[in-house]
Amino acid sequence: MRGGIVLFAGLAFAATANAAPPAVTAAAGPAGGVAPLRVTLSASGDDASYAWDLGDGTAAAGAVVSHVYGAGRFTATVTATNASGETARAQVTVRVVRRTVTLEAPRRLEHGAAGVFAGSLRPAVAGGRVQIYRGGTYVTSARVRRNGRFRTTVRLRSPGPYHARYGPARSGERMVLVRPRIEAALAATVPVGAPLALRPRLVPAAAGSLTVRVLFDSRLVRLRAGRLPTARAGTLRVELRSTPRRGYLASRRVVVVHVVVPTLSLGARGPSVLALERRLAELHYALRGADGVFGFDTYEAVLAFQKVNGLPRTGHVEPWLWRRLARAGTPRAARGGDYLEVDRTRQVLFEVRGGRVARVIHVSTGATGNTPLGTWSVYRKVGGWDWVLWYPLYFKGGFAIHGYPSVPAYPASHGCVRIPMWIASSLFAAHGYGTTVFVHA
């Protein structure tokens, strides 16, 4: 009996002495990436059961488990337990970064204007598409470059807020304010007694409401059924303002309308002449000034306008001329740079600065068409009289640009370029030796 007991104790001692913790290793695939990241965790080693602490407050069981991690650094721990109850642990680290998208946008834009929306995506996804939203409405997308930057253009018709998205990543909101457009179709000039209605509108209409203030020769007048007063000559000033709604900016527009006497000629005076002179000056036709007197300088400016626009060369203003003046633009120079351009066909001289016409001057060239064509340079200047030439600028032989008492609307000189006496001294002073003179047909 005693021998049997001793044998059992020996066997038990031998079993305890041979027991050991199971071997175990842990792996993660992938071990890093962008949130949300699905990771496969696997344990291997001796025959055992496996229990996981996933490192983010959750647990799982099994040799292989799948788990989705948010952003952060996590240590997953697996515990292996063998048949004899022995345990062992292994760990693996998972690093997950949060993808971020930022958005830069203009703070304010005119309605319908193109605005640049840009930003960055981190980590970068070259060739990926970032979506731009206004609230919950998709607007456009932009391609991500290798450095993570993106850029696109949006034509703004509605205010923000705007934000960018890439998958679950979303930027902060950017408020873009929009300035609406005020439209008021009014002619720059209208004849006395002509009907003139004001029908302004705000674009977009949802941007707010409009208020209108009308002055006639600086005196406040009342609108009657939207009609503007045109009973006498004068200047109408229409001031329009918007009261904005949320997301929009206030807008302001001023429209000036000249109520004019339809027909004007030498010797006329008054607000209609002043309106004529101001319009000609806007278009860069040479004048002494805007004084409301239809003198020879005004007559010559009208002639120059008629020549440039292929109209009858009368020097008088008729109703049709007002309409042409309203829609006309400044003439274009033939080339860039600073020079004097003589158009022999239209009988005008353009004083060109930086490729733009600074003054349009009425001229008369050679009666027989002998004013030389080509590109020349001023080689001689005479202040005052040189024989019968006033302040001449010689550009080829005896040919010069000079003042002369008679400058008709047609070619009448011996070959020089005649200009009005009153402007000759200022042209002379403004252009020195070497000034280019370009004469063309």
Q: In angstroms, rounded to a whole number, what is the distance separating the alpha carbons of residues 256 and 261?
A: 16
Q: Please give the structure tokens belonging to residue 17.
A: 């002495």
Q: Please give the structure tokens belonging to residue 374.
A: 């080509």
Q: CA dist 67 to 50, 78, 93, 304, 347, Å?
A: 15, 14, 13, 84, 87
pLDDT digits (tens, 9 = 90+) for 191-218: 999 999 999 999 999 999 999 999 999 9
Please state which of the four CATH numbers 3.30.300.180, 3.40.50.300, 3.40.50.12280, 2.60.40.10 is assigned to the domain occupying 21-97: 2.60.40.10
Contact 281, 305 (CB under 8 A): no
Q: What is the CATH number of domain 181-260?
A: 2.60.40.3780
pLDDT at 224: 87
Superfamily designation of domain 271-327: PGBD-like superfamily/PGBD (1.10.101.10)
- CATH 2.60.40.3780 domain locations along the chain: 181-260
The rounded radius of gyration (Å) of the Cα atoms in the chain is 43
CATH 2.60.40.10, applies to 100-179: yes
What residue ranges of the chain have pLDDT lower than 70? 1-18
Q: In angstroms, rounded to a whole number, what is the distance separating the alpha carbons of residues 304 and 309?
A: 9
pLDDT at 43: 97
pLDDT at 6: 39
pLDDT at 16: 46
- CATH 2.60.40.10 domain locations along the chain: 21-97, 100-179
SS3 369: coil
Please state which of the four CATH numbers 3.40.50.720, 2.60.120.620, 2.40.440.10, 1.10.3720.10 is assigned to the domain occupying 339-440: 2.40.440.10
Give the end-to-end CA distance of the chain in Å, rounded to a whole number.
Answer: 142
pLDDT at 2: 41
Helix H or strand E segment including 135:
none
- CATH 2.40.440.10 domain locations along the chain: 339-440
pLDDT at 18: 54
Q: Amino acid letter at 144? A: V
Q: In angstroms, rounded to a whole number, what is the distance separating the alpha carbons of residues 343 and 357?
A: 13
Q: In angstroms, rounded to a whole number, what is the distance separating the alpha carbons of residues 274 and 271?
A: 5
Q: In angstroms, rounded to a whole number, what is the distance separating the alpha carbons of residues 362 and 302?
A: 9
Residue 418: how many other CB atoms lie within 10 Å: 28
